[in-house]
Amino acid sequence: MTDAEELSSRTREFLAAHPPASTDRLDFLRARFDAGLAWVHYPEGLGGLGAPRSLQAVVDAELEAAGAPDNEPRRNGIGLGMAAPTILKYGTDEQKQRFLKPLWTGEEVWCQLFSEPGAGSDLAALGTRAVREGDEWVVNGQKVWTSGAHNARWAILIARTDPSLPKHAGITYFACDMTDPGVDVRPLRQITGEAEFNEVFLTDVRIPDTDRLGEVGDGWRVAQTTLNNERVAIGGMALPREGGMIGKVAKTWRERPDLRTHDLHQRLLTLWVEAEVARLTGERLRQQLVAGQPGPEGAGMKLGFARLNQVISGLEVELLGEEGLLYEDWTMRRPELVDFTGRDAGYRYLRSKGNSIEGGTSEVLLNIVAERVLGLPAEPRTDKDVAWKDLAR
């Protein structure tokens, strides 16, 4: 079992052999993966050492102190936070060897082809079809709200492979090549003016069966691994005290005494405490992950993240008054990174509205928390045992 001292020594030896100042960035990242220092809790040969997840902080501290480049995790959040753990759990040995290294180094960005216009919040009602032809699957359908599809090389995709089964069955999970000529990515311009989201049309896209993850018809179970990791990635990200939205408002409060009122002060104090509670709860959740896979608790974290972002950004606009309505750049842009805190207050206020939709709507997450965390009775579901093809649409 690798301990902290051994891992720290291993990292220093790696840095001595690959000095960050004189090693090409991509070469450095590839070598770091091969040395097992990418994500230490992954198996050997797949970027890890089979060590406890908690020891990743030891590696990161040594690398940061040496000025080593990182893999720009925000640029490939879906790949690192969602696709990778799903591939690790359900992928074949060949798939793990093919996908995980370029995913981690950032050479191949991933997106998520789950949501559909006709399914709404009911993901299991998806209608994109995958029909098997020999060793390939022919996929037709439409996906929507696909973050980063315009930059992605690969996508995680779920499609219906047997419409005669109930909606949660008959779904299969694939890795989809976004360079396929049948993949058409179109921008969706948001209220912020930019287009980080997309709609994706799939027309006779041919996916080899070797790019299927999990068994045929078991896609819903595979997707739960993705979704649970997604909610943790969105709602449980590591932050310092006053990190995120609350830090921006607190900074404005300190620097602009002319804006202060007693009422706003009381509200800011309340939200500061709530943000700190959420931050510490996220830390506890990440510690629990050391012992196993993320569960439904991540839904609660994501719920809190969305609500706090919206309330805090609203307070910031109110604090700034007319200044809070200013928004510097309405240009139609196709960003690689979503920057919640580096832009104007007006941008933060508008962008935070999407937090209660992306990564699972707040309404769906409330059901998950009620049923799977609190143990409350499940809502009646009359369509649970009805074949998908017989459902009203």
Span 187-227, pLDDT tens digits: 998 888 888 889 999 999 999 999 999 999 999 999 998 98
List of residues 6+ apart from 120 with CB closer than 8 A: none
Low-confidence ranges of the chain (pLDDT < 70): 1-2, 231-238, 286-296, 329-332, 336-342
d(CA 209, CA 211): 5
Q: How many helices (H) and strands (E) does the chain have?
A: 12, 8
Give domain limits for the chain. Answer: 1-70, 110-216, 223-373
**Considering the domain 110-216 in this protein, what is its CATH number?**
2.40.110.10
**Structure confidence at residue 2 (pLDDT):** 67
Fill in the DSSP letter of residue 218.
Answer: B
Q: What is the CA radius of gyration of the chain?
A: 22
**Structure confidence at residue 368 (pLDDT):** 82
Q: Judging by DSSP bridges, how do beta strands 136-144 and 129-133 pair with one another?
A: antiparallel
**Considering the domain 223-373 in this protein, what is its CATH number?**
1.20.140.10
- C-beta of residue 194 within 8 angstroms of C-beta of residue 150: no
* Residue 79 CB coordination number (10 Å): 29
List of residues 6+ apart from 264 with CB closer than 8 A: 315, 318, 319
**Structure confidence at residue 373 (pLDDT):** 82
Catalytic residue among 194, 230, 297, 316: 230
Helix axis angle, 56-65 to 4-17, nearest 10°? 40
Task: Confirm whether 230 is a catalytic residue.
Answer: yes
What value, to the nearest 5°, has the Cα angle with vertex 100 and ends 281 and 224? Answer: 50
Q: What is the pLDDT of residues 34-47, one digit of tens each?
A: 999 999 999 999 99
